[in-house]
Amino acid sequence: MIFFQRALQARRLASWTFLLAIMFVTRPVGSAAEVKVIRTPNDGIQPQLVVEALGKKHLIYFKGGKQRGNVFYVTRESKGASDVWSESKRVNSEPGSARRNGAISHARLAVDESGRAHVTWFTMRPPNYYYARMNDDGTGFEPQRSLVKRNIHGVEAGAALVTTGSDKVSLIWHAGPFAQVETRGIFMRQSTDGGRTFGVERRIDSAKAGSCPCCGLSAFADAGGRLLVSYRSAEEKIHRDMTLLNSTDGGQSFSNATLQKWDIPRCPVATTVFAPGPDGQVAVAWETKGQVYFASTKTPDKPVSPPVAGYGKVRRKNPAIAINGRGETLLAWGEGEGFRAGGKLHWMIFDSSGKPSGQKGQPGVVPESSMPAVATLLDGSFIVVY
């Protein structure tokens, strides 16, 4: 605990230094944002990347077979071109207790204000969500725990995990009968002591519009009490609309809004993700009908998507998104067939008004069952991990 208390004090004392640093590291107006593309370390898949306000990078990835595998954690300090990933630490205390079932089932990473990493992952036999947090001295992870006891029926996709400050941790997932998808719900457990203990499981979707069983969901939280959840509903079984839950009181109550409609009589196996931006803005990205979109949560009815010309007719899926201090958005995705195929990696940058800036790339192929992860760095550049 002393390790994280000192780390939290250091981060608070450094906040003014960080704000001053932004004044000197932003790029000149009109210059192109740099994009660095790298493979997941140790040939892992399903990367999840978090960059702290002061620049330290935290990353988890999966290695193993479809039914049995492990989640690993690495970090990378901001030391210019010479920085390297740290030695990997296995997150799951029981070897082989994680699995991969395409991009919908990947492990999730959250880093709290003190710099402590929190991880959740999914297993199918039997269905369960596990959770582990970094130990107090920062040398490894505490023994894994199962967090879901009651609402575990029909679970097939990974849970979302978010932190607020250094004490609040929220696990969010969807569950319910496969045969009655319109009755499925969104559930949450919250901790107010940094992940040591968690409160009761409770349903949070107010619309009761069901949920698509094998589509992913995502969440975002901030210190102002905002908690957002994006997921694909399943009203009347065919209305697989992209839906946004919005709480302004830390998750005590939620309103809901439709991001985009999609009528399809089966699960499309699609994912979604959030990204914070400057001035408190938050964007959400998703897939509909083989195209990827993103929108500000302030104007969810105005989605933006990459132009179709020049990219072919294969399915675009598994979007990843990051926003830099100038309001520029990097959207990355895979293009391929089948829900397990990672597809060809693409990225594109949009300016602060949502228009393509002309910067784009097709740097490689995403491994099977994987997807890209992206983040913005202190100088306004972007990093893409695949």
So what's the pLDDT on residue 4?
Answer: 64
User: Residue 156: what residue type?
Assistant: E
Q: Is 351 left (phi over 0), alpha (psi -120 to 50) or beta?
A: beta
126: cis peptide before it, omega within 30°?
A: yes
Q: Which CATH architecture has domain 34-385?
A: 6 Propeller (2.120)
Domain boundaries of the chain, sorted by first residue = 34-385
CA gyration radius for the chain? 19
pLDDT along the chain (386 residues), means of 10: 59 41 41 92 97 94 92 86 84 93 92 97 88 97 96 93 96 95 96 98 89 95 96 92 96 94 93 96 95 94 82 81 97 88 95 95 94 96 97
- Cα–Cα distance measured from residue 96 to residue 130, given in angstroms and rounded to the nearest whole number: 12
Distance between CA atoms of residues 55 and 376, nearest Å: 9
- The pTM (predicted TM-score) of the whole model is 0.91
- Give the count of beta carbons closer than 10 Å to the beta carbon of residue 351: 15
Phi, psi angles (nearest 5°) of residue 80: 75, -150
What is the pLDDT, as a whole number, of residue 2?
A: 58
Element (H, E) at 291: strand 291-296
Residue 159 to residues 85, 188, 261, 317, Cα–Cα distance (Å):
26, 9, 23, 19
3-state secondary structure of 188: strand
Contact between residue 263 and residue 257 where contact means Cβ atoms under 8 Å apart: no
- What is the reported pLDDT for 27? 47
8 Å CB contact between 215 and 270: yes
What pLDDT does 304 receive?
A: 95
Q: Which of 129, 103, 109 is nearest to 270 (CA)?
A: 103
pLDDT for the residue numbered 284: 98
